[in-house]
Amino acid sequence: MARQLGRAGVKVVLAARDPRKGEGAAAKLRSEGLDAQFLKVDVTDKKDHAAASAFLQENFGRLDILINNAGISAEPLGAGKVSTTTEDTIRRTFDTNFFAPVALTQALLPLLRKSEGGRIVNMSSILGSQTLQADPKSGIYDFKSLAYDASKTALNSFTIHLAHELRDTKIKVNSAHPGWVKTDMGTDAAPMEIPEGAKTGVDLALVGDDGPTGGFFHLGKTLPW
């Protein structure tokens, strides 16, 4: 997503917990002629939220696009039974997948309000669709992980509520399902390559003023909540 946004002319601030990996990624993008810099952010650390806000205010005075992309699975995807999922697994998953993006967005919302048309993209998952999870005919019906799925459902609810709060502003808030992508989490068994998986998030980040808000999308198609 950082590469595709950079190619679209966006000044990218790439956040990561690991400074070595984060700066390495930003340096690679700069070597391709893109405007990219690294900012150390652990999304579960509110001190990093405050530092990110201060950095953006000092260097740009506003924030145009926020992509809440950090996510973990503390259980094997598709194997998180209710009867065996521990409280610790649920709490660790929600800390990163739900509580962190809510808190970070709250910290950066004043800067987004200064944008001529702010965009917030919450990287969700089709596994958070209650409609599809409850449908025996759905392709994901038998693929359930309590902690991960519930955290993405909660993130989708955050999208709906924030979009409603900001409905009279130019800020648009949407959830994106990237697809099953060849990442560390998705594994090599996934059918989608990373650039294709990035497309939905990038499209929502660059959506025009006449575009949607408060929706859940994958490659231009609306997904059921």
pLDDT tens by residue, 164-183: 999 999 999 999 999 766 66
| Res 197 pLDDT > 90 | no
Task: Give the pLDDT band (50/70/90) at residue 185.
Answer: low
Find the mean pLDDT for residues 25-54. Answer: 98
User: Given the structure tokens 């390495």, which residue do they identify?
Assistant: 24
Task: Name the active-site residue from 38, 94, 98, 148.
Answer: 148
DSSP state of 74: S
Low-confidence winner among 77-81, 139-143, 152-156 (lowest mean pLDDT): 77-81
- Spatial distance between the Cα atoms of 96 and 90, rounded to a whole number of angstroms: 10
| Res 189 pLDDT > 90 | no
Say what the pLDDT of residue 160 is.
98
Can 141 be counted among the known catalytic residues?
Answer: no
- Does the structural domain 65-222 have CATH classification 3.40.50.620? no
Mean pLDDT over the full length of the chain: 94
pLDDT tens by residue, 113-131: 999 999 999 999 999 999 9
Q: Give yes or no for a contact between 39 and 32, defined as CB atoms under 8 angstroms apart.
A: no
